[in-house]
Amino acid sequence: MSLNTVDPGHTLPPAALDTDEAARYIGVAPKTLANWRGRSQGPRYVRAGTRVVYRVADLDAWLAENLVGGGPR
């Protein structure tokens, strides 16, 4: 996961991750994300030409929507 440099000594986490980074973030194989895209499943993504990126906010939302078990919180 790369960091965006705002100014020397200050970095921000990325707002979007490529497929490999997104797969690591949610704990699946990159091929799984590709398969899900082909079946219109999984987290939302952005297609910019041939490039695919996943917004971290969308990955977090998808994880929250797919939370199972543990009872009410």
What pLDDT, in 10s, does the model give residues 30-62?
A: 999 999 999 999 999 999 899 999 999 999 999
What is d(CA 52, CA 24) in angstroms, rounded to the nearest whole number? 15
- pLDDT score of 45: 97
Q: Which amino acid belongs to residue 3?
A: L
Whole-prediction pTM value?
A: 0.77
Contact 44, 16 (CB under 8 A): no
Nearest-CA neighbor of 52 among 28, 23, 11? 23
- pLDDT score of 70: 76
Q: How many CB atoms lie within 10 A of CB 38?
A: 9
